[in-house]
Amino acid sequence: MSQNIVLKKGLDLPIKGEAGLYVSRTISPAVVAVQPGEFKGFLPRLLVREGDSVLCGSPVLADKNNPGILVCAPVSGKVKEIVRGDKRKLLAVLIESSDEQEYLDFGKKNPDALSAEEIKEAVLAAGLWPWLIQRPYGILADPCKRPRSIFCSAFDTAPLAADCEFCWSDKLKAVQAGINALSKLSEGGVHVSLDADKRFSSAFGRLENCILHSFKGKHPAGTVGMQIANICPIRKDETVWTISLAGLAAIGELFLSGKVNLRRKVAVCGPMAIEPSYVETVPGTPVSCLAEFVGNTDEPVRYVSGNVLTGKNIGKDGYIGFFDSQLTLLREGNEREILGWIRPLRFRQFSTDHCYFSWLTPWRKYDMDTNTHGGVRAFLMNDSYYSKVLPMDIYPIYLVKACLAGDIEKMEQFGIYEVLPEDLALCEYIDPSKNDLQDIVAKGIDLMLKEMA
């Protein structure tokens, strides 16, 4: 194991509604959605039509630019509906799940006995390649490229994040098989990062055939982008891949059983959740299947697939994201406050700047909502304000301004190759200017893809 890496910058949000470490429901949804918009850099081509029968692992979508990259069905059943939006843009493929799940058999394989090309072909054929994300830009990994390294974080420090030990320690053999397979696809092997406080008790500390690292610090210590930046930053013309524990387990399960099994534990959490706990289900599960966690409240609720900093507002008619292991339920904050920030005694409000007396009770959890408490205004000029929560060797404010200006040379100079929008989520949270920093960086990355491809 490498030396323990301590990150002194960051911020943990004290928000109510952490999920208890138990599975309260096992859900077999009647309808599951496959949403191509979740895969950045994926130009979908339909492989099925309404009424077609599919098995778990059957290809549903293919990439027009790289036909070898497939997206598979997470359940068996019948294609119920092809959902399209403006200009016939493909939004989702809805699959009506059968009572008994049937799996497409890809055959058991020993990754230790396979070549890199054979492993790549097996992962592509099973539709599991989308688990591999390429940095820079955060797009689907290019099967024709060999990355410098592959990175995985075995813990998550995001607000109310699902506990990785609870979710995946029972699939340690599958995770190990996934590591054994992917280690042949990169030059620098697979890097797995652990929580320094639990490195001796963690089941993932026993993983082999990988390079283990331990991190200690506040959020974003558990994000793979921060880990890469502190282990070996990405330089221009370099490529690394990232994958989650869910992806490693799915790939490992493919080689161990010959089947595509995407079932996983999902944390249903947040201040508006009744009995915050875990459910066992598949990606693409409708939020309506989890209505009992909200109850009959008259208050408006925001349904976030993912965490409160980087998740997506999917609404009560949405579906749990392919990459997400939590559903966060928040109260919509639409009301205005009398006197606002002038009021000194705001014990129910959390502040990162000691504006209120809440800093005197660091153990307290808060019933946070979606209220931004203000509107967009001029940028704060002091870059050190944002840097205090960003443990990366970049200048976030100058990078954001370069993205706004569309200045590619400045974007390269200030670290566009090292970041994804999620890496600046905390900067956006503390931003007194109320700017959507993640969206600005995302548009900057889109410009880089257009101009540098």
Protein fold of 29-97? OB fold (Dihydrolipoamide Acetyltransferase, E2P) (2.40.50)
**Residue type present at position 188:** G
Q: Distance between CA atoms of 301 and 274, rounded to whole angstroms?
A: 12
Q: Distance between CA atoms of 67 and 140, rounded to whole angstroms?
A: 13
pTM, two decimal places: 0.95
pLDDT digits (tens, 9 = 90+) for 261-286: 999 999 999 999 999 999 999 999 99
User: What pLDDT, on the 0 to 100 scale, is given for residue 453?
Assistant: 63
Alpha-carbon distances, residue 158 vs 195, 205, 226, 441 (angstroms) = 13, 21, 12, 20
Looking at per-residue confidence, does 296 or 198 come out higher? 198
CATH class belonging to 265-360: alpha beta
| Per-domain residue ranges of the chain | 5-11+108-257, 29-97, 265-360, 384-452
Common-topology check for domains 29-97 and 265-360: no
pLDDT of 359 > 80? The answer is no
pLDDT digits (tens, 9 = 90+) for 132-170: 999 999 999 999 999 999 999 999 999 999 999 999 999
User: What pLDDT, on the 0 to 100 scale, is given for residue 339?
Assistant: 65
User: What pLDDT, on the 0 to 100 scale, is given for residue 141?
Assistant: 97
Q: Distance between CA atoms of 140 and 127, rounded to whole angstroms?
A: 12
Q: Which of 200, 210, 134, 147 is nearest to 178 (CA)?
A: 210
For 194, the enclosing helix (H) or strand (E) is: strand 190-195
Average pLDDT, the chain: 93
pLDDT digits (tens, 9 = 90+) for 88-101: 999 999 999 999 99
